């Protein structure tokens, strides 16, 4: 579902800086690594190790939110955002969108096991933004995660992609490369940060957005798509009707190039339902063929641990101030 689309638009993006930055400088990268989220003054029990830390060693705390709001996230300078791995604030925005009401959204699919809503971004980007809520009865949460997160397993059932692989890991985020099939059009390829996190209640969060990587430049025969955001919230449920997994997903992507708008508007809202059906079938088949699937629970353990990238010394600070940027024209090509 990283494959959703956006419409033609002209926009300017405010350029947000952390002190004075040169895009390719070491100083820029030092500042850009200083992102995350915390309540003011909140310290990490896992990271601080107060009982054993030398007296002169700085205390470690969660970083303050780098993306202050959804609007800030969407308008943030893309050149810098491509250098910032997934942060705690990405996860906060994902949960915000999961619980957001339907005001301004068109409920285009409303079935028993899936609902899909769409809207156009109001920031001038023209992007078609999709949210979906799905129920997978009889499907265990660790199996859903395994079939989605493991790229080898995903390539067996997600036929929208012709290639998908992890090429690197940066500050707690995977660098994911994938190629999307677009029938009758040039294939789209993606370079994305991808990060998973397991909350204390067992909920799984997965966040993705576009990244830069020196080993993955644009290449002939493909159109490099821009993934503004894709996110997933996966939860186990049990009620009077049985148990299974609930999934929330959101996606907002500019596939670039030239694809007629009517195709996008017709096809895009149907894709989440098709994708969920394929995922559900793959999970149920896996459970039927692998009675020891409970062992997959161990795959979640690494994503429960604290990530050093999310923390900073207690006395460090980051000041961001908006700097005006000239209007630019971006052709989304739909």
Contacts of 223 (CB under 8 A, 6+ apart): 186, 187, 188, 189, 255, 256, 257
pTM exceeds 0.75: yes
Specify whether the CB–CB gap between 179 and 187 falls below 8 A: yes
CA dihedral angle for residue 143, residue 149, residue 154, residue 157, rounded to 10 degrees:
40
| C-alpha dihedral sign at 210, 250, 177, 307 | positive
Residue 110 lies in a domain: no
Contacts of 125 (CB under 8 A, 6+ apart): 6, 9, 11, 74, 228, 254, 332
Contacts of 180 (CB under 8 A, 6+ apart): 2, 3, 160, 161, 162, 187, 188, 189, 190, 225, 255
Specify whether the CB–CB gap between 96 and 207 falls below 8 A: no
CATH number at residue 278: 3.30.530.20
Between CA 52 and CA 25 the distance in angstroms is 36
CA 85 to chain centre: 10
Residue 155 has pLDDT above 60, yes or no: yes
Residue 77 lies in a domain: yes
Comparison of pLDDT for 54 and 325, the residue scoring more: 54
CA 328 to chain centre: 26
Confidence of residue 271 (pLDDT cuts 50, 70, 90): confident
The total number of structural domains in the chain stands at 1
Residue 29 lies in a domain: yes
Tell me which residue range forms the domain holding 150.
17-99+124-319
Residue 109 lies in a domain: no
pLDDT digits (tens, 9 = 90+) for 33-86: 444 443 444 444 444 454 455 656 678 899 999 999 988 998 899 999 999 999
Between CA 140 and CA 217 the distance in angstroms is 38
What's the chain's Rg over C-alpha atoms? 20
- Beta strand extents in 186-330 (DSSP E only): 188-198, 204-210, 223-224, 226-239, 242-254, 311-313, 320-323
Residue 329 lies in a domain: no
Number of Cβ atoms within 10 Å of the Cβ of 73 = 20
Looking at residue 2, its pLDDT comes to 56
Contacts of 65 (CB under 8 A, 6+ apart): 36, 37, 38, 87, 88, 89, 92
Residue 265 lies in a domain: yes
Q: What's the mean pLDDT in 128-135?
A: 93
pLDDT digits (tens, 9 = 90+) for 179-236: 998 888 899 999 999 999 999 999 999 999 999 999 999 999 999 999 999 999 999 9
Residue 157 lies in a domain: yes
Looking at residue 88, its pLDDT comes to 96
Percent of the chain at pLDDT exceeding 70? 72
**Token pair belonging to 196:** 């998973």
Between CA 170 and CA 87 the distance in angstroms is 12
Main-chain phi, psi angles of 180, to 5 degrees: -95, 130
Looking at residue 46, its pLDDT comes to 46
Specify whether the CB–CB gap between 76 and 13 falls below 8 A: yes
Residue 212 lies in a domain: yes
**Token pair belonging to 239:** 């009620």
Between CA 279 and CA 141 the distance in angstroms is 12
Looking at residue 60, its pLDDT comes to 85
Specify whether the CB–CB gap between 137 and 127 falls below 8 A: no
């Amino acid at each position: 579902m990283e494959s959703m689309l956006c419409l033609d638009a002209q926009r300017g993006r405010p350029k947000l800086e952390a002190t004075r930055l040169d895009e390719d400088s070491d100083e820029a990268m030092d500042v850009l690594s200083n992102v995350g989220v915390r309540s003011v003054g909140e310290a990490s029990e896992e990271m601080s190790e107060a009982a054993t830390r030398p007296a002169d060693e700085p205390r470690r705390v969660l970083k303050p939110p780098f993306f202050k709001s959804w609007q800030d996230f969407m308008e943030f300078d893309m050149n810098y955002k491509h250098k910032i791995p997934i942060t705690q604030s990405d996860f906060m925005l994902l949960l915000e969108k999961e619980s957001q009401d339907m005001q301004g959204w068109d409920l285009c699919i409303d079935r028993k096991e899936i609902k899909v809503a769409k809207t156009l971004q109001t920031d001038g980007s023209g992007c078609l933004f999709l949210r979906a809520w799905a129920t997978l009865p009889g499907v265990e949460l660790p199996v859903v995660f395994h079939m989605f997160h493991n790229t080898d397993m995903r390539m067996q059932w997600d036929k929208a992609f012709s290639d998908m692989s992890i090429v690197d890991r940066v500050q707690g985020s995977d660098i994911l490369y994938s190629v999307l099939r677009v029938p009758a059009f040039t294939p789209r390829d993606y370079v994305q940060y991808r990060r998973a996190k397991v909350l204390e209640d067992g909920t799984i969060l997965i966040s993705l957005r576009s990244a830069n990587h020196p080993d993955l430049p644009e290449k002939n025969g493909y159109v490099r798509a821009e993934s503004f955001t894709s996110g997933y919230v996966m939860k186990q449920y049990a009620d009077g009707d049985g148990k299974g997994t609930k999934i929330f997903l959101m996606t907002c992507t500019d596939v670039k190039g030239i694809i007629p708008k009517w195709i996008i508007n017709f096809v895009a809202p149907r894709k989440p339902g098709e994708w969920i059906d394929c995922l559900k079938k793959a999970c149920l088949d896996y459970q039927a063929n692998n009675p020891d699937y409970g062992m997959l629970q161990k795959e979640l353990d690494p994503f429960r641990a604290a990530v050093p990238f999310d923390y900073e010394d207690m006395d460090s600070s980051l000041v961001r101030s908006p700097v005006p940027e000239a209007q630019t024209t971006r052709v989304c090509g739909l």
